[in-house]
Structure 1
Amino acid sequence: MTAIKIQNQRAVINRRKLAAAIADEVALTSAEKARPRVVELLRQALADGRTELARRLQEKPSAGHECTHGHAFLMDQLIRVMHDHVVNDVYPAPNRSTGERLTIIAVGGYGRAEMAPHSDVDIAFITPSKNTPWCEQVIEALLYFLWDLSLKVGHSSRALDDMVRMAKQDLTIRTALLEGRYLWGDQNLMDEASRRFWAEVVRGSEAQFVAEKLAERDARHKRMGDSRYVVEPNVKDGKGGLRDLQTLYWIGKYIHKVRNAAELVDVGLLTKPEYRAFRRAENFLLATRCHLHTITGRAEDRLTFDMQPQIAKAMNFADRTGKSAVERFMQFYFLQAKHVGHLTGVFLAQLDEQIASKRKARGLLAGFRSKPRIVKGYRVGGGKIAAPHDGWFQQDPVRLIEIFQIAEEDGFEVHPETMRMASRDAGLITAKIRKDKRANELFIKLLTGRNDPEMVLRWFNEAGVFGRFVPDFGKVNAQMQFDMYHHYTVDEHTIQAIGLLSHIERGELTSEHPLLSEIIHKVSSRRVLYVATLLHDIAKGRGGDHSVLGAEVALKICPRLGLDENETELVSWLVAQHLLMSATAFKRDLSDMKTIVDFVAEVQSLDRLRLLTGLTIVDIRAVGPGIWNSWKGQLLGELFELSEERLRLGHKRRGRAERVAQRKEDVAKLLGDQAHIIDDLDNRFDDSYWIAEPDDIIAINLPHYAAAREKQHKLSIHAEYYEARGATLVTVIGDDHPGLFYRIAGAIHLAGGNVIDARIHTTRVGKAVDNFLVQDPLGRPFKETSQLERLRVSIEDALANKIELLPQLAKRPNARARSESFEVRPRVSFDNDASERFTVIEVHAKDRPALLNRLARAMFEGNLMVNSAHVTQFGERAVDTFYVTDLLGEKLKAADRRQAVEEALLDAASEQVEARQVEEA
């Protein structure tokens, strides 16, 4: 029996005292009548033990091994007491036959003595042969006691022969038994079960077990997101989590029969420093899991946003300048996940070497094994590049960069044993090496490699060399941002962005990114674009504006990397302005020429425009799945084309009349036989409509308007899937009246849609022509006929006052329930310089269904005319931008007027106000 060492065991549970109390109850009446009292005693012992272990975890919040061993010990003692009570008092059998024997084995995580507070109790009952009535009675009684304690029990009951047969057939059963630990019962039977398991199940199946376990691991990773750096990781099953460490132990135990993880060093699968890293990571992950179970009161393994701040506090993480406690906790978590990934690589490589060395060459060609070849001083074989000897990097630390550069250039994988050496020797990268000209040349070649820089930079990072060579990058290693927008840590996001640049440059994403695929080959300097991508988020977590701070970092790093003065200034500008293009495209009205004028004034040249476009696209795309969509691509493309035109033509641009004439000509081509509608309605639409709307939307609006006029419809609502923008176009044509915009916005929300863009027009005869682009809460368009009809009916009912918008909207659940974990303080800003005709109002607030409706209503009540609205979502945060005038068509110039509007909008954006309305509704 493997003993679990627990300090002051009797404070957790006193088995003898508990057994004596049960015996006293039985002596007073009988086992059957005493049962309720026995269950009560067991339940109290379980509760007291958990309370004591929770107290110990609070005192030592990072003691994962102690906590899990403690809960396993508590369960051991309870099951032993139950067993003895059942065997001695409930079903006593003084003259048992050889078949009436039973052993209880703890399996799975319980077998390893790793139980979080609410882990399943996994046990196996083993009998010599088919269960006798006595064995069945004892097993059933034990299970009922466990269930009465509200424990989730995973159990099996098998005869020895069945155990062997089923373990051979089922990987899960084999893995569970692999960790079997004698718990109680017949010791001889346990010994026989163990002997037969190793002799009949394990022997000869080692290679199959390893292959199946690795396939199982890969499938689990794919199911969990296939990245160690997702911002809501699964502590148990996620990549870099506990299950990955357990897989290493299972493989080591299956092949070498190790009894614990420490023996992985003895059999050569881990070095002593690697084993210490194994234990540190395991201890931290176990502690995190214990806190998750304790706080939630259930078996919860997902480190969700609402849990992260609570666990950071429980584990004594504190705020630091530029980083909150939760961000520091999660950075430490991801560093452990990174260590797990590194350990997995070197472990499997060592295992592969051991297996290969045992294989004996057979056949006529046995003596003609291919020998490794030498490439630039390195051994290359089987597609892997390796250092020729153990002191290779110590002789010349620049080789720590060189080997990765060669691997990228020639398409090699770095041999895991060499990865182990690189990780060990990463500390050799000193200030002297960082200033070395050859080292920096090699790094730039690696960064801008044309084969697969993303994969090799990831290895470079996991070996710990990246952060040593670029210390500023090391500071953002494993750093997460506590929000719903960023899906990955900063270093992983950056490496993915570089990978996207490489894929696009190689022509692999032409259909997804046609614009960048075309212009990427026209930039003045590839390395400027790649270095800017590397540095664009380098200053996150320092406090202050990371764009400004990052630009300062670029001025220091670029000359060291070999960039000339012009390239350095260009990289610094790109880093400083890397959010400019997305902010302009998504939060400004691109039909307002002042938007383009201001943007071009900052960009100044075609080369800067191309570089900034490239950086913007890969930055957004690398944020996470679902963030990039055709709507964003269309807006960025439109901004690029308008800016390119102005940069090419300078001030010799077309005037307003020429632009309108050109637009009409383009729309006529789209309308074909219906082109006469343009002349028919020429007295209805003024120039601002023709300039504001894209050709294809006008070509949809005009026939719709003409049909409504012909049929004398007072209200006409049209909804269709608009593929070019990845959204649904909703057009409302009717008599213009105050409050029309906020009512339509509210109705769209009630139908389950989110407005992402809106343009409001009034014709010369007082008709409203309002265009809305709509998506669902997950950023997808409405396509189905039933969805489009729901939108139409909801708008119709709202405009006919058939529904009360405010109470209905207040009742709607937030589609982004996870956003409740975040606090977003509303703020309002005004810009009278961004447009010649309008005041631009930006409202930052927590995203929720009723937000746009509430803001639009506040502006209606404040006597403002909304010309266009642009909605951008960043996870839990929304930025709604409005182009407005007062009722006389003037900008909001008076400070007191702006203050009154600001107060009304802040009130509308407030969650507290909304909460009161929910109660009233």
Structure 2
Amino acid sequence: MRCVDAVGRFAAASVSPSSDPSCLSWSQRARQRLADFDAELAQRFDRHEPVRELNRDRSAFMDQLVGEAWQMNLPDSPVCLIAVGGYGRQSLYPQSDVDLLILIEPAERRTQADAIAKFVAMLWDARIPISHAVRTQSEAAQACSEDITVLTALMDARVLAGDSRRFDGVQSDTSTEHMWSESAYFSAKREELRTRHARFNDTAENLEPNIKEGPGGLRDMQTLRWMAMRVLGEPGLDALQAHGQLGADEHATLMRAGANLQKLRFGLHLIAGKREERLRFDHQRALAAHLLHNDEASNADVERMMQGFYRSAGLIQRISERLLQRFEEHLQGESEPLAIHAEFDALNGYLAARDPQWPAGNASRIFELFDTWAGAPELPGLHSRTARALAEALPCVPAWSDADPAMRAQFMRILRGPDAIRILIEMAKTGVLGRWIPAFANVTGRMQFDLFHVYTVDQHTLMVLRTLALFQTGEGVDRFSQAHTVMPRLRKPELLLLAALFHDIAKGRGGDHAELGAVDARDFCIAHALPPADVDMVEWLVRHHLLMSVTAQKQDISDPDVVARFAHLVADRERLDTLYLLTCADIAGTSPKLWNAWKDRLLADLHVATRLALRRGLEDPLAREERIEETRAAARALLVDADAAIGRIDDLPSDALLRYRPEQIAWMAASIVTSPQMQVAVHAVDDIGHALEVMVWSPDRNGLFAAIVMTLDRLGLEVSQARLMDAAEGQVLDVFHCMPRESSRLVEMREVERQLRSVLAKPSLLEERPSRRAAQRHLRQFRLTPQIVFSGLSANRYLLSIVCNDRAGLLADVAAFLRMEKLRVHDARIATFGERAEDMFTVSLDNGEPLSEERLASLASALEPILVGATH
């Protein structure tokens, strides 16, 4: 409770314990006593004593301190002092607030104001983080009627001092007979839970999860307890077993998962030294080390700790969903069942097994449940009794390697069904998929300690499946330009689903996860009686699931040789289409921020170019000049009524005609017409306007690349790719693909054009300087040793490859360095993977002379501190 009424505010402002030596002395001693007691609790925590006991003991010690301060100021007073919230239920973590309610009669406000003020000030001076409210009985009841969180805090209340009859009166005034009936309370708390979950994207599998408030967190367990108290009149979760609402296995699972979260939260408070509920990156490694009693923790240690959190949160979330449904059934009663299968009914809008003994140890009946559910998509979930029976029967589900052919055939029937993706996701959520495919269970809750993979491995896999479902329905056309047209062409969609299931299944085993996963996929497919060609297809997709992404993002896909090599590896159109869909879903399912219009275009262009190469035949690759002429002719056709622009097509570099589509060439030519010597043009790559294509047509000058990059950086744009090409008569064509650094922010295209023109109009570009920024908090936890390699491309051109931590302004800093060292950039390929930047630049000296090995080594040494963010 954070509300402080007028009495509380006046007290804080007008009275200080420093005016009373005895109060000040007590506060100083209490501060030290509490510090000593907390140090003792920390030692007990390190000895693995249950956190529940530590919290209860800390609460009891706090009772002692609060009671002493009360007796010093309000001895024998009828004013009622009440512990509420977490303090009230005797669950006080090292940095938790001490929530207090002071019940006072109206006539006592004036006479007791100074005493209450001194009491509060003493506790504050003792560094006890109290949160208090001073109310009359009627005010307390009114606050509860207006705010369900105030009522909920009072449900955990206990009297510390004063006349307890006042609190009895508040309890009577706030009973279900007077406010917040059982059904009203349940509906409000359930909506509160849904809203809270939505703030965390309805998943516990966030990179920096909130132990208390996130889905599956401790607040969920508290919500269940409050519902049990208000809806059923039971004292807490323990009593739900006797009430028949919670099975013994469910209760034991809930208690184990809750104890793990309590341990993590207690340790987090110790590590952070403040009230922190989020497992932030900068605490994860320290907490893992603390729990292991080590000075440092490896990435693997962090990942194991976080896997324990995700699995516990997932269990709490699943059991919570069942209990919420049972509370709802208790309030509403059960409707008449509607038969939909020989074994299953629709009951209260959920799928229910008719047999009370279902599945009676028969795993085949479990698969029959999911097969039936596939034909009833209108049912959002399993009936709570069936969900409990399924959870208790999970041990009878065999691994696929131990199952008989009939069960394997059942699984394949589900996989080939019309609603296979939804059912696979439900099988994963209920734990059935992890039993059937033990390797999937191994990656359940497995996080990767980096910024690239936002989800745990199992949740990433489910996100990939959900994205594939979008391709099937045709949703998300604005994000995926071609996927919805490619998906219906698949002859056997189940092969794509199998590849999605297995593509990351070997993460964390050591070695190449794609190679290991391919072996798993092959064995699985053979055991499930897939034809040899289908087995080969799934195995190939898993082994090469990164091929298309790497080719599109790291190579020049406008180069016919690159496309030809990729086409040779893919070999046929069916593999190409399936790999394309898997790649799109894999990238989009890795992080909400990773997929963008530029990646969509890259993959779509590579897909189209490879289809043409396969159609033409791998022995007859399209010649460079033939492709240039095709693009020139198509661009002219687009400019049929613009003769001046048609003439400008021939001014563009031949590399541009090789690299860009006809509509891009037409746009460039039309832009140059209005300003033949220097032109800047910007257009949106997507309909939203986030991804921008920036064209600069200019005389070649020293510092041109650096000046452009620094200007884009100041505008809040990050460069995804840069193409720099020499044209005739000393002109250059530079094309940049950019995204806003903040995804929610739209950058005005006209402003980009205006500022670039202003900079490029300056007599000298060598005075531009990159912006300075503090390192982002996230990136401090993921330090990479920079890798800098110079490779010779010709007598005087070199490929500079950089791998380092990404950060805001990195490209601008690198560009400034290259300019300072008199290195001209001819091409740039920019790729970012979470915290990792992998950039390549084709460079040469301004004067065209070759660089010695000593000079290259010197450049690499000078560049390294810049990559780690040092001032240059």
- Report the TM-score, using the length of structure 2 for normalisation: 0.90
Matched, 1:877 2:845: no
Query: Equivalent residue for 1:843?
Result: 802
Residue 546 (structure 1) shift: 1.1
Give the structure 2 partner of residue 18 of structure 1: none
- 1:211 Cα offset (Å): 0.7
Name the structure 2 match of 1:57. Answer: 45
1:209 paired residue number? 185
2: CA distance, partners of 1:496 / 1:850: 31
Match status 1:568 vs 2:535: yes
Q: CA–CA distance in 2 between the matches of 1:108 and 1:584? A: 56
User: Residue 520 of structure 1: CA displacement?
Assistant: 1.3
Question: Quick check: 113-122 or 647-656, which moved more?
Answer: 647-656
Partner of 2:6: none
Candidates 589, 593, 599, aligned match of 1:632: 599
Q: Partner of 1:233: helix, strand, or coil?
A: coil
Aligned residue in 1 for 2:581:
614
1:72 has 2:59 as partner: yes
1:482-561 residue pairs with structure 2 within 5 A? 482-561=449-528
Inter-partner Cα distance in structure 2 for 1:328 and 1:319: 17
Change (3 A) 1:409 1:676: same
Q: Which residue of 2 aligns with 1:695?
A: 662
Distance 1:164 1:33 in 2: 38
1:84 aligns with 2:71: yes
One-letter amino acid matched to 2:83: A
Cα distance between partner residues in 2 of 1:113 and 1:786: 58
Counterpart in the other structure of 2:786: 826
Cα separation, 2, equivalents of 1:687 and 1:496: 42
Q: Could you tell me which amino acid in structure 1 is paired with residue 242 of structure 2?
A: D
Once the two structures are TM-superposed, the CA of residue 719 in structure 1 deviates from its matched residue by 4.1
Contact 2:451 2:834 in 1 (8 A): yes
Whole-Å separation in 2 of the counterparts to 1:550 and 1:900: 44
Q: Does 1:782 align with 2:747?
A: yes
Q: Which amino acid aligns with 2:805?
A: K
Q: Superposition pairs for residues 366-445 of structure 1, below 5 Å?
A: 370-373=336-339, 375-411=341-377, 412=379, 413-431=381-399, 434-445=402-413
Equivalent residue letter for 1:87: L
5 Å matches for 1:799-818?
Answer: 799-803=764-768, 805=769, 808-809=770-771, 811-814=772-775, 816-818=776-778
Residue 870 of structure 2 corresponds to residue 915 of structure 1? yes
CA distance in 1, matches of 2:363, 2:855: 64
1:130–1:159 contact (8 Å) kept in structure 2: no
Q: Distance in 1 between matches of 2:314 and 2:72?
A: 48
Distance across 1 between alignment mates of 2:531 and 2:243? 52
Residue 339 of structure 2 aligns with an amino acid whose one-letter code is R
| Structure 1: segments with no counterpart, 5+ residues | 1-28, 94-99, 360-368
Q: Aligned in 2, Cα 1:277/1:301: closer, same or farther, shift over 3 Å?
A: same
CA gap 1:353/1:831 in 2 versus in 1, 3 angstroms: farther
Rounded Cα–Cα distance in structure 1 between residues aligned with 2:694 and 2:31 = 61
Partner letter of residue 46 of structure 1?
L
**1:227 Cα deviation (Å)?**
1.2
Residue 629 of structure 2 corresponds to 661
Question: For the structure 1 residues 509 and 720, does the alpha-carbon distance in structure 2 shift closer, same or farther, using more than 3 Å as the test?
Answer: closer
Q: What is residue 142 of structure 1 aligned with on the other side?
A: 119
Tell me the TM-score normalised to structure 1 length. 0.85
Between 1:339-348 and 1:130-139, the stretch displaced more is 130-139
SS in 2 for 1:307: helix
| 1:875-919 alpha-carbon deviations (Å, 9 max, x no partner) | 2111213356788999x9x9x85x9747744752556763254xx
Distance 1:112 1:592, change over 3 A: same
Q: How far, CA to CA, are the matches of 1:652 and 1:528 in structure 2?
A: 30
Alignment of 1:662-681 (within 5 A): 662-679=630-647
Superposition deviation, residue 207 in structure 1? 0.9
How far residue 168 of structure 1 moved from its aligned partner, in angstroms, is: 2.8
- Output the CA distance in 1 between the equivalents of 2:223 and 2:108: 33
Deviation of 1:385 after TM superposition, in Å, equals 2.0
Of stretches 779-788 and 308-317 in structure 1, the one that deviates more from structure 2 is 779-788
Report the CA distance between 1:542 and its aligned residue: 0.8
3-state SS, counterpart of residue 306 of structure 1? helix
| Structure-1 separation of matches of 2:563 and 2:857 | 27
* 1:146 Cα deviation from its structure 2 partner: 2.3
State whether residues 727 and 782 of structure 1, in contact with CA within 8 Å, keep that contact through their aligned partners in structure 2.
Answer: no
Give the letter aligned to residue 616 of structure 2. L
1:176 maps to a residue whose letter is A
Q: Corresponding residue for 1:14?
A: none
Displacement of 1:464 after TM fit? 2.0
CA contact (8 A) 1:731 1:770 kept: yes
| Residues 491 and 848 (structure 1), Cα distance of their counterparts in 2 relative to 1, 3 Å cut | same
Query: Retained in 2: the 8 A contact 1:105–1:183?
Result: yes
Write the deviation string for residues 243-299 of structure 1: whole angstroms up to 9, x where unpaired.
Answer: 111100000011233334322222222222222222222222222222222222221
Distance 1:885 1:546, change over 3 A: farther
Q: Residue 153 of structure 2 is aligned with which of 163, 173, 176?
A: 176
- Post-superposition Cα deviations, 1:40-85, rounded to whole Å, max 9, x if no partner, equal 122222222222222322332x733233223322321111010111
Q: Which residue of 1 aligns with 2:421?
A: 453
Residue 270 of structure 1 corresponds to 246
Query: CA separation in 1, counterparts of 2:633 and 2:401?
Result: 63
How far apart are the structure 2 equivalents of 1:525 and 1:886? 54
Conservation of the 8 A alpha-carbon contact between 1:476 and 1:538: yes
Task: State the Cα deviation string for residues 293-350 of structure 1 (Å, max 9, x = none).
Answer: 2222221111112111111112229999996111111111000011111210221233
Q: Deviations over 1:834-892 (max 9, x none)?
A: x9x997654221112343245456666888764321212212111213356788999x9
Cα 1:622–1:139 change in 2 (3 A) is same
SS across alignment from 2:511: coil
Task: Report the alpha carbon displacement of residue 189 of structure 1 after superposing the two structures with TM.
Answer: 3.6
CA offsets 1:102-144 (integer angstroms, 9 cap, x no match): 2211111111112222222211112355544334333222222
Q: How many residues align?
A: 851
Return the match for 1:753 from 717, 730, 736: 717
> Matches of 2:579 and 2:856 in 1, distance apart?
35
CA distance in 2, matches of 1:623, 1:798: 45
Q: Quick one: distance in 1 between partners of 2:211 and 2:682? A: 45
Mapping for residues 30-429 of structure 1, pairs under 5 Å: 32-60=20-48, 63-88=50-75, 101-127=78-104, 131-198=108-175, 200-201=177-178, 205-316=181-292, 324-357=300-333, 370-373=336-339, 375-411=341-377, 412=379, 413-429=381-397
Partner secondary structure for residue 410 of structure 1: coil
Quote how far apart the aligned CAs of 1:600 are. Answer: 0.7
- CA change 1:199–1:480 in 2 (3 A) is closer
Q: Cα gap change, 1:681/1:888 in structure 2, threshold over 3 Å: closer, same or farther? A: farther
Q: Call closer, same or farther: CA 1:30–1:324 in 2, change over 3 Å.
A: closer
| Aligned CA distance change for structure 1 residues 303 and 395 (closer, same or farther; 3 Å) | closer
The question of whether the paired residues in 2 share the 8 Å contact of 1:751 and 1:791 is answered with no
- When residues 720 and 641 of structure 1 are mapped into structure 2, their CA distance, relative to the original with a 3 A threshold, is closer
One-letter code aligned to 1:871: I
Q: CA separation in 1, counterparts of 2:756 and 2:78?
A: 69
Distance 2:130 2:295 in 1: 40
